[in-house]
Structure 1
Amino acid sequence: MNKNAIIDRIITRERLNPYLKHHSDIIDKALAHYKSNILVSESFYPLIAILEVGLRNTIDNQLNRKYNDSKWYENTDFIRTASRYQIDRISEARTNIQASKKEITTGRIISELTFGFWTSLFDTKFELTLWKNLRLAFPNCPKQNRNRKNISSKFNQIRKFRNRIFHHEAITWNLDVLNSYNNEILEGISWLDNDLLNWIGDLNHVGETIEKYRKTIE
């Protein structure tokens, strides 16, 4: 196997350089760390998927109730409340569904809307309009923590971490921080539904994956 060819043609030197620097330019260690980063990132996928699906569906449910309209994203009152960002994301969702030659349904719109769309509904702008309803999406969040600012901070931090993983970036520089993210995601899921947290128990392999590759990474 020509390791230099793999680096130059597939991974690229620019992407591998941080790993090389971390491992004193030892190529084998850098490549092993790179692969371990992929495996650790992969271990987060199930939890992030459950959190994202759970968040969007619980918010959808609350907005459905608020506007008494399953198509709340088309409701005149919501449109008046929304910012250009939300309106553009809804428009993009419709465009993407049409591009795939599928019928535009409420379910497809909800699933097509980005994680960023859902977390944007916790912005300061919606403190007096949406938050009273959206807070009900987190029945298990301790009352002292269940305010718009805390919820926005938590889920936007998770969103940014999720984006780093989905963009195949390096996340394994500080393994203690990764364990903290794991705990944050699990807590976020529990705030949505404790039964959901119990149900995903066998999907959570983050801790053991980190420990399995700790020596390779460090």
Structure 2
Amino acid sequence: MSRRILCLGFLFGAMLSSPGWADELPFQCGPLSNAYGPYDYRTDLSKLNIVEIAHFTSDVENLRKGVQSVRPGPDLNYTLRAFPNHHRALMSIVRLGARDKSDKPATGYTVECFLMRAEAFRPDDPMVKLIYGIHLLNQGKSKLALVKLDDARELPLESPNFFYNLGLAYFSAGHYDRALTSAHKAYALGFPLPGLRDKLKRAGKWKDPEPVLSDEGESKEVEPPKAEKPSL
């Protein structure tokens, strides 16, 4: 009897200490609990390979075909159940919805639900909020998109890829000042592609960043860090 009480007490304590996912998701978006996971795309790297090899292939990511079926939807569904905040899979499901002009291009949930699940699972992940903002822009919901983009900008992340894509999203929303700030940040961090700068130049909105002053008040060159490979 005492052993049974101990086990029940442990279970009750675990329930109290678990994240309040169910309170943050509408019923139609389902539970986040999963047979494998859910795992954090940013940190649970040891669990990632087994899912990506079996389900998130290059063909699936680029929406050419699936592994489980002809279409990539079921494999994206599996990937996002195991890793709700899988950045590249989220971007693929957003692109699949836009391509197929469907709110529910995959088995399981709508595109909006996959994004809500990711945000509920890891509200501190700025890439999730950025991708959510991109989806809302695709839907023509500019005001809601800007809320997500601004939320993403407020979270700490020193990534040239992040700021480049954030700048592209702000540009699409017509907020050129924020796009310019994001562009300056991306290029200062070493982002290699000129696309965002070129867009701002064609729109007449590009301005060179202010020079960085040394302690003596003189301008100086800043060596950018090595750029990471763009992923979105």
TM-score between the two structures when normalised by the length of structure 2: 0.24
Please give the TM-score of this superposition, normalised by the length of structure 1.
Answer: 0.26
More helix by share: 1
Higher normalized contact order (CA 8 Å, seq sep 6+, divided by chain length): 1
